[in-house]
Amino acid sequence: MGCGVTKNSEFNRKFDKDGNAIPAAITMKAAVLIQRWYRQYAARMEMRRRYTWNIFQSMEYADLQDQIKLYNFLGYLMDNFTPSSSERNLISHIFRDNEVCRDAEWERYFNYTNIDVPEIYSGPRLTFPLDMDQAADLVEAFKNKQQLHSRYVLQLLLETWKLLRVLPNINRVSTCHSKEITICGDLHGQLEDLLLIFYKNGMPSLEKPYVFNGDYVDRGKDSIEILLILFAFLLVFPGDVYLNRGNHEDHIINLRYGFTKEVLNKYKLHGKRILKLLQKIFSWLPLVTVIDQRVLIVHGGISDTTDLALIARIDRHRYVSALRPPKRKTPSRTNVYADSERYDEMIICKNRRGSLTFPKPFGARESFQRRSLQDFSSTVARTLEEEFEVRRRQAEFSMSRFSKSHRSLSSTLSSDSEPESSELIDTGNDEWKQILDLLWSDPMPQDGCIPNEVRGGGCYWGPDVTEDFLNRHNLQLIIRSHECKQDGYEFCHNRKVLTLFSASNYYEVGSNRGAFVRLGPDLVPYFFPYQATSMTRGLSFPQNVKRTEHTALKVLREQLFVHKSDLLRAFQEIDKENTGLICLNDWASAIERVLHLDLPWRVLHPQLVSSTTEGKLDYQGWFRDLALKKPSSEHIEQTMLETLYRHRSTLETIFRIVDTDNSGLITFEDFRQTLKLLSAYLKKEISDEVINELVISTDTNNDGSIDIDEFMEAFRLVDKSRLKRGKSLLKLMQDNESLPQVTETPQIVYSTAPQTSHCPASQPADPPASNTTDSACLQTANTPASQTADSPGSLTEGCPASQMEDLCHITVVVVPPQ
């Protein structure tokens, strides 16, 4: 029976309390019983782990899709609004191409020499050229939560920029001299993980070369620190540190996923310049790394058209954002335009439309792009004649302003049948596609290569494409990142593709491990998984699963709740007799129709539904059960609030785009325009009354402008307990007489702001271990007076009341903003 071998030996004899020997059979039976139960327990745990993972992943991808859609929508606006419309002006700047690098000018703009460093600044003071000790000191400083002064930041970034400009698109590394190369995947602003890697593996040096595979920023809260560390080591060991570009090294993505916000919050005075410089640096990051001409390291992946020879030749810095098509190279372009800005826009419009109307080799992906735009208007599907007409009109408009010498150029604008011009578009688009594929693609198990519709960019590529690619380029392995994996790494495609992910606890504390890889001359990968444990200390695997599951379900409930109106409508359509009841099957299929998350709703239903009677669910009651406290306003209708809440990420992204000077503030008028944009995007009416009400009810600084962060504060679902606590802190702060008036909006408040992150929910319900609260409470004097909204929100949750009072005192330290 069974697989166990029973030894009927004395050793296994058991005795009861009277000293009588228990027959072996009974012992055996008992053992088997326990084992059976254990196995059931383990299986159930595994199931929970799986659906939890699915929940997080679907929500992450849904969010990403939203970003792409938004971007396409804005592009559509650019193409189709008249040049002078106010909406267009608001957003045109993100489509403005990077000016050709006139370095001297830029270096003047990024000049740091007139930035003074105050005496009391106790962070690292860098001198260039950097050396190993300074790099190590920098790591140490960040470990101690210090912040590098903006002067040094700019200086370091400038040096980095200069270095990156001379690097090729393809880094070539060799493992000669028995050097083992360490490779790391996505870090996403999680400094803890980088420190852990350095702790386990040592810091980069001549003997210890490193390759970092992109996605250093966004989502986590220490993105800038990670960048500074990596750049510092790059400067000290340029022959032994290799950085690849990831899809998040892209200012448009940064607007939504937290990096822009982080920099602006940490560097209030100079943040804008730092971001601009980073834009350039990102565009200059190399695209891929090749080890020993055998192993390819790239952030996203490949497609069936990926060609390393072509990639080597690209001017990579022209692609500031992988989401933006390139500026066309025009032969007669000089600098004497009266309105070069408008010209740029026209060129860009032309390119984009070019991609819509000309038959392209990309086929499926282009039609996907076109489809997304078609979502927004039926007029997009224009005939060719209409296209030419529009373009001719635009050309005429510009022609009237330009001198004759450019007429030839304008004429090429209107007659696109010229092979030369279309060729130029082709090359531009070819290169663009190559980069997009490198940075955004994902592997799939089936053969073939199809557009990556989940992410909205790049493609899904199959094992046959891998095989073909490796053969063509004489390679043996592809190492990529871009996707979170449970154990930090995962092979696929017959072990020819390795996914490596270095941000542990990515979705939630305990959700996954991170890993780094070491390759020696034998090119056999050795894996080193880890998990940053400050918050998972002492938690067993089942506890981790439960905790992660708890958060996932909370997030899911929130999603269900904010889709209440749509769900209600769907339920009522099914429940034609208006009984208020709906069977489980219908419930599950209705939810899937509305949310499109592809989740196992039946498996999840015990967690989401408290009770059913005779297999039927009372849906009104269910919504009541789900109810969380909503932000309320007497004048604004609930469904409108719900809509705005649901799309708050999009709203915030539009805000940040509209906030052209990156100050964190926008005018009333722009705010109004933003809401109109959102209304058009969602195809939902947001009436003027609502907009006015929102403007009025937002607690502005009384200076005619709206603080973006503050506005977004209003849009958080707060559950009652947290609200109570929040109120008490506020009261505490108000009561505390010795608290001088802080003119800036105090940002260290009851806000546990949902990070614009993968996990739309705020902090986990259980306050993290005291480590984080300690570190947050003891911010040094170097940081600006108001703490970032992104700092561990657990300030209020974890801190006992007495500490809160101390907190109030600490935040009062006034330091000249950096």
Residue numbers at the binding site for another protein (CB under 8 A): 1-4, 6, 12, 14-17, 22, 26-47, 50-51, 54, 444-446, 540-543, 584-585, 588, 600-603, 615
If you count them, how many residues does the chain have? 818
Contacts of 767 (CB under 8 A, 6+ apart): 773, 794, 797, 798
- Tell me the C-alpha to C-alpha distance, in Å, between residue 710 and each of 116, 751, 807: 30, 10, 21
Task: Compute the least distance from the CB of residue 589 to another protein, in Å.
Answer: 10
Q: Among residues 24 and 714, whose Cβ is nearest to another protein?
A: 24
Q: Among residues 27 and 65, whose Cβ is nearest to another protein?
A: 27
Task: Compute the least distance from the CB of residue 551 to another protein, in Å.
Answer: 18
The continuous run of DSSP H or E covering 528 comes out as strand 525-530
CA 289 to chain centre: 23
Task: Compute the least distance from the CB of residue 546 to another protein, in Å.
Answer: 9
Please name which of 205, 185, 457, 400 lies closest in space to residue 298, comparing C-alpha atoms. Answer: 185
**Token duo for residue 303:** 């497609």
Per DSSP, helices labelled H in 5-122 are: 24-80, 86-95, 103-109
CA-CA-CA-CA torsion sign (466, 472, 477, 479): negative
- Tell me the C-alpha to C-alpha distance, in Å, between residue 314 and each of 96, 297, 318, 326, 524: 20, 18, 9, 11, 31
Residue 507 is classified by DSSP as S
Q: Among residues 47 and 781, whose Cβ is nearest to another protein?
A: 47
Which residue numbers are catalytic? 248
Task: Compute the least distance from the CB of residue 433 to another protein, in Å.
Answer: 25
Q: Among residues 543 and 610, whose Cβ is nearest to another protein?
A: 543
Task: Compute the least distance from the CB of residue 72 to another protein, in Å.
Answer: 28
Contacts of 199 (CB under 8 A, 6+ apart): none
Whole-number CA gyration radius for the chain? 29
Looking at the DSSP bridge assignments, the partners of residue 515 are: 529
Compute the distance between CA of residue 560 and CA of residue 269 in angstroms, rounded to an integer.
Answer: 40
Q: Where are the beta strands (DSSP E) in 605-671?
A: 616-618, 665-667
Q: Among residues 36 and 172, whose Cβ is nearest to another protein?
A: 36
Task: Compute the least distance from the CB of residue 19 to another protein, in Å.
Answer: 10
Contacts of 202 (CB under 8 A, 6+ apart): 208
170-173 and 21-22 as β-strands: parallel, antiparallel, unpaired? unpaired
**Token duo for residue 521:** 């001359």
Q: Among residues 29 and 93, whose Cβ is nearest to another protein?
A: 29
- Tell me the C-alpha to C-alpha distance, in Å, between residue 40 and each of 28, 203, 580: 18, 44, 37
Could you identify the residue written with the tokens 């080799």? 361
Task: Compute the least distance from the CB of residue 585 to another protein, in Å.
Answer: 6
Q: Among residues 612 and 780, whose Cβ is nearest to another protein?
A: 612
**Token duo for residue 656:** 């940040």
